[in-house]
A and B are shown apart, each in its own frame.
Chain A
């Protein structure tokens, strides 16, 4: 995978943007449980009141609470509140807001900073709680006696007056004692209790607390909606970016691979095989595209989300993190175990599927033989064996895999239960709020899911790596055949082809396929090459247009080594007809004009006539514009062959190479075509590879190849006398009398 990283370079800006947006997405997703927690904690539990710092209070309340402060605290509090009475400038405005002002003077909180607020919270929290505790005690008084901090007192006692009377030092002492008791309750609890006091104070002030609560819930909900919109928006943009990056990189890789392969020589095609090169250019790149997109959307996202979740979870309740760690370990362990069991079976299954396909393919391709030998039952049993084995393995895998979901669900639900149980204790000890516990459950889910996402990638990644390596292999090839740096020009092209002590060895082969080949093919004459399969005939002629380069020796055209001119220049000289007729999609005309875009109609018609392809054209309704489908699959082998020959003729080259191009033609067409060819090609050099003696009997020069060596050179009659191999070939094809 890393090997193709340079293809991401043009998209690095988009990639950075995508990662940034993934952050935004993760942060927003993580913020949502927080908002929900706020709605529960503050909105519901605290009646929409956020802190223990009331925005206003009655003078009487202020007087009471200040009794429990030291002078420093008292000054600090009073400095941040504005005293309002009927003489105040804003009296009317405040009256409207706080109806209680009509009867009593009030204090209104000044516009303070968050820092100040944070400093105010503990002071006001403690004191408000103390005051409300006294109030509570009064209300709970039974039989005129109230229980205040373990002391029995008459319920109608004015505690505050008493306190006011107390000497400063004694009051101090008492306050400290109360402080200690309150601190033992924990900060959260104090805050919540204080908030309850604040709510009561608001009621006394004549505020609409229900409306306050609703407003709080609504505004929190609004922010929640905005955040979720932000999350959706960033996900959509990430989706757009990842699609463009993935498809874009795939486009660039595909282009590079294709142009690279177009410059390959035959030996590279042999090395990779055509089918494999096609897969590498198409499917492998699609794989990369998919994985890239998924990587951006998931692999980058999971750690961000996971880390964010962990931070939030630690922030909420570090003491419960072991639950998440445990859950992640158990889940990953589960996945590991399931895959350890299933993976070898997966490999086996792939083999068995291949086996089943093989038997089916054999049954289809051998249908005639099977019926001729009456072996239908045998084949059915063979299929049944493959089928049974495959079914068994698939069943095993399915049954292992179906266990995964229920177990995973159970583990996750178990985590929820555990969080509630542990959380309940912490709530009871006031180290956690209910809303936080609810949020914590969601963080836990998010963390677990990001781990699951990551582990899913470990399954997908290896496959992509295989594809990436296969692509890289193609891109890394240094083509064997390159143009010379200072190419020469053929000054007076005639088409004289010369082989000088040429040997050729396929890469990695032990033995050379051609050994020490020397001959000359002259313009205006036909040179035929014959020999059994594997004797190297095709390789030999393929060295002329430089599809292969000689390992030793030289191939010369008009006296110049073919390696000293550009491939383009060289191939301009040559009309090549391959062994297997190859046509491209288009129509007959476009195929013929493939040789020369500007060929005049007259030339095309002539080529069709020489190649005996007239009847093909006439057979079709659309004539020369009859469509040819991909690979020429809508014309027969013989027709392809003749059209390929016509195509080479349109080129009017100096050298014709027919690589066993007549084999798909029947004797009659073969003979007519050769006759015309000889008439029309005049001064060109003809080089013909053939299997049939009849095809080459009349060539001026016949070269007989056997196991890569020239074993005979001469005319038919000469060779019948002198060359044993030639005679053997001839005898196998024609009866003796016909040869004589």
Chain B
């Protein structure tokens, strides 16, 4: 299942057919991004020049092939004619052998050049790929959270994989293909001209025909490919929706409607699919026909000229091979603009990401955090994820060292916002947050965050064994320290029941331990960090009762002697808190302790009472 899910986003965009047929995306600013890419690869200037030389060399050598082979044929032909006429000694095999050996040498050098070129180019492109990926991964850690609010994971992921891959592929193939194609076109043209300008004219005549036909096909195929992509999207959408809501569809007897709708969409898709596939299949035969047209033209013209003894039979043979060699690079060059556009678009997305705004610079004169006691004060704090949509208005509160601060409110009220401000995942718009009287912006982010321990409901663990996951709290901790933290957080109570104990590697989806066990590991992780201040998100559901009790006990233990901010769901926590911050719609609507707030008889009192109201009595 997980495998399917991973594959999906990539495959959907994949579609089918060559790039030119589909009509790729276009970069926003071609020139600028192109220059940037050139600049980026300028480091490899010299190897790239070598690659160009070898590619051109290989292509140029290849071009001599047909001409020489043609000369051999002429030699044979003439030798034969002499023999028939009885005027000569027939074919001069010594000469033929020499020429053929030379030809063989030519081909091997060309192949060698071609391989050297490919070898160097794959080295360069892989180095660039590596560098891009590395820079993206480092960039991710320097970007403000704000960026990820507006961008989904899949998009970032697609830059690391799809965009970088696309770029390296085009570097690897298209670039050398372009060089080879251009060299071939020029070289072939020269060779053709040396044989016969008349025949060359005929051969060139096929170019406008090809370009016209290619343009025609591409125009139609792009239209149908787009249609196919759209209809495929509709079908996939319906399938995803109906499978995703299968139970509801069944519960409301919606099978018939669903299948009927599917049939309509499916028929539309069929219409576009066969058309686009048909057009995609047209390109080859039509280009081949155009090629044959040239072939016939050359044969006829060549026949005439040979009959007039103006060219030799071998020349015709060589020419036919040149005409064949001619059509492919033309199609490649015609396609190159599409590939280039696609490549630059991919590069543009990568550069855009690399150039995204980073977290504001650190203070140059940071405060030493060592002697902090853990007094936290919010002073006239204003904050909004959007500048013009302030969600925290003039909030002030103070927590003494070791106090418990509960944050309550309905789901989606923005309880985690406070946490994010404290940890400087976001910076306040105005006002300040102070720790022991120092503005948190006067610490380095590293030092500030080192003071906090965090246990969230969303238990993030990674694909390693349990021991390493606990050690994540303090990468320098010894095994003994890890086990100690594990005992404190009741991890030991379940870890021994696991098949491999601490060595159990969590699978990729972290489904081989239960939700509650995950929670306990994150608590152990926080224990190991031994922070001065804590941020906790209480578990609400999906944990069995016994584990939940353990989690509570572990959390209580963790909070001892630490200033703690708790996103609270349990009344017992709330009631014992030294300060309760009541949030609604992202706003702190009330604050105080339990009794004070009940007295106010406001939002909190309402919220609190709703738990005990008897629905039957009204």
Given contacts A250-B273, A584-B248, A735-B575, 13 further A-B contacts (CB under 8 A): A32-B292, A217-B299, A240-B278, A255-B266, A360-B137, A372-B454, A373-B472, A409-B62, A413-B103, A534-B544, A568-B253, A583-B245, A668-B410
Interface set, chain A 558-589, CB cutoff 8 A to B: 567-568, 571-572, 574, 576, 578, 582-585
For the complex, count residues of B whose C-beta is within 8 A of A.
168
Contact assessment for A391 and B126 in the assembled complex, using a CB-CB cutoff below 8 Å: yes
The 10 closest A-B pairs by CB, nearest first: A402-B118, A235-B285, A666-B410, A239-B281, A273-B1, A232-B289, A532-B544, A217-B303, A228-B292, A398-B122
**Chain A positions within 8 Å of B282 at CB level:** 236, 239
Q: How far is the CA of A22 from the CA of B311 in the complex (A)?
A: 37
Contact assessment for A251 and B130 in the assembled complex, using a CB-CB cutoff below 8 Å: no
A279, CB-defined interface residue at 8 Å: yes
Residue in A36, A275, A425, A644 whose beta carbon sits within 8 Å of that of B93 in the complex: A425
Contact assessment for A630 and B545 in the assembled complex, using a CB-CB cutoff below 8 Å: no
For residue B168, give the distance in angstroms from its CB to the closest CB of chain A: 8
Contact assessment for A239 and B285 in the assembled complex, using a CB-CB cutoff below 8 Å: yes
For residue B558, give the distance in angstroms from its CB to the closest CB of chain A: 15
A605, CB-defined interface residue at 8 Å: no
Contact assessment for A214 and B307 in the assembled complex, using a CB-CB cutoff below 8 Å: yes
* B192-215 contact mask (Cβ, 8 Å, vs A): 1 or 0: 000000000000000000000000
Residue in B77, B445, B572, B611 whose beta carbon sits within 8 Å of that of A667 in the complex: B611
Name the residue of chain A whose CB is nearest to the CB of B137. Answer: A383
Q: How far is the CA of A246 from the CA of B473 in the complex (A)?
A: 56
Name the residue of chain B whose CB is nearest to the CB of A678. Answer: B615
Contact assessment for A406 and B114 in the assembled complex, using a CB-CB cutoff below 8 Å: yes
Known: A232-B292, A357-B161, A568-B253. A363 touches B137 (CB 8 A): yes
**Chain B positions within 8 Å of A725 at CB level:** 545
Residue in B286, B475, B546 whose beta carbon sits within 8 Å of that of A375 in the complex: B475
Known: A236-B282, A360-B160. A391 touches B253 (CB 8 A): no
Q: How far is the CA of A297 from the CA of B288 in the complex (A)?
A: 15
Q: How far is the CA of A674 from the CA of B133 in the complex (A)?
A: 53
**Chain B positions within 8 Å of A624 at CB level:** none
Name the residue of chain B whose CB is nearest to the CB of A354. Answer: B6
Known: A357-B157, A387-B133. A691 touches B541 (CB 8 A): yes
Known: A290-B16, A367-B145, A410-B111. A585 touches B313 (CB 8 A): no
**Chain A positions within 8 Å of B252 at CB level:** 571, 576, 594-595, 647, 651
Contact assessment for B258 and A262 in the assembled complex, using a CB-CB cutoff below 8 Å: yes
SS class of chain A's interface: helix, strand, loop or mixed?
helix
B100, CB-defined interface residue at 8 Å: yes
Residue in A232, A666, A734 whose beta carbon sits within 8 Å of that of B286 in the complex: A232
Contact assessment for A251 and B295 in the assembled complex, using a CB-CB cutoff below 8 Å: no
Name the residue of chain A whose CB is nearest to the CB of B239. Answer: A281
**Chain B positions within 8 Å of A395 at CB level:** 122-123, 126
Q: How far is the CA of A293 from the CA of B300 in the complex (A)?
A: 36
Q: How far is the CA of A353 from the CA of B3 in the complex (A)?
A: 13
B365, CB-defined interface residue at 8 Å: no
Contact assessment for A668 and B307 in the assembled complex, using a CB-CB cutoff below 8 Å: no
Contact assessment for A631 and B299 in the assembled complex, using a CB-CB cutoff below 8 Å: no
B613, CB-defined interface residue at 8 Å: yes
SS class of chain B's interface: helix, strand, loop or mixed?
helix
For residue B411, give the distance in angstroms from its CB to the closest CB of chain A: 6
* A719-739 contact mask (Cβ, 8 Å, vs B): 1 or 0: 000000100110011110010
Known: A217-B307, A375-B472. A732 touches B611 (CB 8 A): no
The contact sample of 22 A-B pairs, CB cut-off 8 A, is A220-B299, A228-B292, A244-B278, A254-B235, A259-B262, A261-B243, A275-B8, A289-B277, A356-B160, A365-B153, A387-B137, A395-B126, A410-B107, A413-B65, A413-B103, A547-B247, A576-B247, A630-B241, A669-B410, A671-B611, A671-B613, A734-B611
B402, CB-defined interface residue at 8 Å: no
A82, CB-defined interface residue at 8 Å: no
A169, CB-defined interface residue at 8 Å: no
**Chain A positions within 8 Å of B86 at CB level:** 136
**Chain B positions within 8 Å of A277 at CB level:** 243
**Chain B positions within 8 Å of A196 at CB level:** 84-85
Q: How far is the CA of A547 from the CA of B251 in the complex (A)?
A: 9
Contact assessment for B273 and A247 in the assembled complex, using a CB-CB cutoff below 8 Å: yes
Name the residue of chain A whose CB is nearest to the CB of B76. Answer: A424
Q: How far is the CA of A508 from the CA of B148 in the complex (A)?
A: 42
Contact assessment for B157 and A289 in the assembled complex, using a CB-CB cutoff below 8 Å: no
* A359-378 contact mask (Cβ, 8 Å, vs B): 1 or 0: 01111111111111111101
A670, CB-defined interface residue at 8 Å: yes
Q: Which of B25-33, B341-349, B388-396, B455-463 forms part of the interface with chain A?
A: B455-463
Interface set, chain B 283-304, CB cutoff 8 A to A: 284-286, 288-289, 292-293, 295-297, 299-300, 302-304
B306, CB-defined interface residue at 8 Å: yes
Q: Which of A38-46, A324-332, A335-343, A451-459 forms part of the interface with chain B?
A: A38-46
* B1-44 contact mask (Cβ, 8 Å, vs A): 1 or 0: 11011111001100010000000000000000000000000000
Interface set, chain B 441-463, CB cutoff 8 A to A: 445-446, 449-450, 452, 454, 456, 460, 462-463
For residue A647, give the distance in angstroms from its CB to the closest CB of chain B: 8
**Chain A positions within 8 Å of B81 at CB level:** 45
Contact assessment for A362 and B456 in the assembled complex, using a CB-CB cutoff below 8 Å: no
Residue in A375, A427, A532, A647 whose beta carbon sits within 8 Å of that of B91 in the complex: A427
B515, CB-defined interface residue at 8 Å: yes
**Chain A positions within 8 Å of B275 at CB level:** 243
For residue B148, give the distance in angstroms from its CB to the closest CB of chain A: 7
Q: How far is the CA of A403 from the CA of B112 in the complex (A)?
A: 9
Residue in A282, A360, A733 whose beta carbon sits within 8 Å of that of B157 in the complex: A360
